[in-house]
């Protein structure tokens, strides 16, 4: 089935001025349409509800609801590994190394063009000044969560990785309170267990939730106090932007806690030297 993006490109010459405004908004917000009502889309794009309905029909849909289903289908294809691989293999003569390099550069550029500086600053403050920071990420996002937990504990105390192997989430969050923060990594479709941790932290413990996500309409993004959007386009999702943003967050926390972070790192250096941790 033809996607919304293709329909926009084919029919753009027939749009009225009002419909061009809708098209310009829709190009950057296709995934939002999948979950927003017609009046919410009308308000966000600055036109009337009637214009949105006419616009949907001009794109070849029977109704706004049909266009919404088309947006949902586009999201499903976006998250399908099989479809992503097929698109990659059909994408040209570049090899996997060239494709990966180009894709990561594009993801990094999109991430930092769209990242809200105020949200990033709020995330840094939340992670720097929370009484305790818990970090969670599952499946493909697990590696990023492990790195963040490791790096953050280098520059501030009381950082822990939420581990779900023992099915004891309630116990791990038992002592959490509104003075604590949960840092979540969830790229592509949220893992059910990750969402359970976020809900527990937010609704039962009152923790501040900072989330690194790739979709502004994901269930985790909607629950987060500070959602940080990354571009992660790739056959198996690219984590280049996640790694870059993670490094920036740790750097920001270290800067916010300059004196204590410096003292902490010097202590760790001494311990590593005394225990001969690294091979020179």
Segment 56-77 mean pLDDT: 83
Mean pLDDT along residues 36-46: 86
- Mean pLDDT over residues 28-32, rounded? 71
CA distance 114 to 279: 41
- Give the list of residues 6+ apart from residue 64 with CB closer than 8 angstroms, or none: 38, 41, 52, 53, 56
In this predicted structure, what is the pLDDT of residue 23? 83
pLDDT band at 33 (very low <50, low <70, confident <90, very high): confident
pLDDT tens digits, residue range 68-111? 888 877 766 655 545 544 554 455 567 888 888 888 999 899 89
Give 104-142 pLDDT, tens digit per residue. Answer: 999 899 899 889 999 999 999 999 999 999 999 999 999
Does 272 have pLDDT greater than 50? yes
Q: Please tell me the predicted confidence (pLDDT) of residue 76.
A: 65
Residue 97, pLDDT score: 86
Q: For residues 228 and 210, give the distance between their C-alpha atoms in angstroms, rounded to a whole number.
A: 8
CATH of range 4-78; options 1.10.357.10, 3.30.420.40, 1.10.10.10, 1.20.1090.10: 1.10.10.10
Could you tell me which of 101, 75, 76, 178 has the C-alpha nearest to residue 132? 178
- List, for residues 151-183, the tens digit of each pLDDT value: 999 999 999 999 988 888 899 999 999 999 999
Residue ranges of domains in the chain: 4-78, 108-274
Over residues 248-255, the mean pLDDT reads 98
pLDDT value for 88: 46
**Among the ranges 13-22, 80-89, 245-254, which has the highest mean pLDDT value?**
245-254
Contact 155, 127 (CB under 8 A): no
Please tell me the predicted confidence (pLDDT) of residue 75.
67
Q: How far lies 208's CA from each of 119, 131, 201, 227, in Å?
A: 13, 11, 8, 11
**Residues 238-254, mean pLDDT to the nearest whole number:** 96
Which pLDDT score, from 0 to 100, does residue 194 have?
Answer: 94
Higher per-residue pLDDT: 250 or 84: 250
CATH code at 108-274 = 3.40.50.10490
Name the pTM for this structure. 0.70
pLDDT over threshold 80, residue 198: yes
Return the pLDDT at 210: 98
How much is the average pLDDT of 197-218? 91
Q: Supply the pLDDT for residue 45.
A: 85
pLDDT beyond 90 at 195? yes
Nearest alpha-carbon partner for 211 in 169, 182, 247, 250:
182
Which one has a higher pLDDT value, 42 or 185? 185
11 compared with 161, residue with greater pLDDT: 161
Q: What is the pLDDT at residue 209?
A: 98
> Token pair 């920036």 is at which residue?
248
């Amino acid at each position: 089935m033809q996607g919304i993006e293709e329909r926009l490109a084919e029919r753009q010459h027939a749009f009225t001025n009002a419909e061009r405004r809708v098209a310009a908004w829709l190009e950057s917000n296709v995934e939002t349409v999948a979950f927003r009502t017609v009046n919410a889309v009308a308000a966000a794009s600055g036109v009337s509800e009637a214009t949105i309905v006419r616009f949907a029909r001009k794109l070849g849909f029977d109704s706004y609801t049909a266009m919404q289903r088309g947006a949902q289908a586009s999201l499903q294809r976006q998250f399908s590994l099989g479809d992503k691989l097929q698109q990659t293999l059909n994408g040209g003569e570049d090899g996997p190394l060239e494709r990966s390099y180009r894709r990561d550069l594009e993801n990094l550029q999109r991430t930092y063009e769209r990242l809200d500086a105020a949200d990033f600053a709020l995330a840094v403050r939340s992670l720097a000044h929370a009484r305790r920071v818990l970090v969670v990420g599952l499946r493909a996002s697990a590696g990023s969560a492990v790195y963040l937990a490791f790096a953050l504990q280098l520059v501030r105390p009381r950082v822990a990785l939420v581990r779900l192997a023992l099915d004891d989430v309630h116990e791990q969050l038992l002592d959490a309170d509104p003075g604590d923060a949960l840092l979540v990594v969830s790229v592509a479709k949220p893992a059910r267990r990750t969402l359970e941790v976020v809900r527990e932290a937010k609704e039962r413990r009152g923790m501040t939730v900072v989330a690194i996500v790739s979709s502004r309409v994901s269930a985790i993004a909607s629950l987060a106090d500070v959602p940080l959007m990354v571009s992660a386009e790739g056959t198996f999702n690219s984590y280049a932007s996640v790694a870059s943003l993670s490094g920036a967050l740790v750097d920001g926390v270290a800067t916010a806690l300059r004196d204590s972070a410096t003292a902490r790192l010097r202590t760790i250096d001494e311990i590593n030297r005394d225990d001969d941790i690294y091979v020179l």
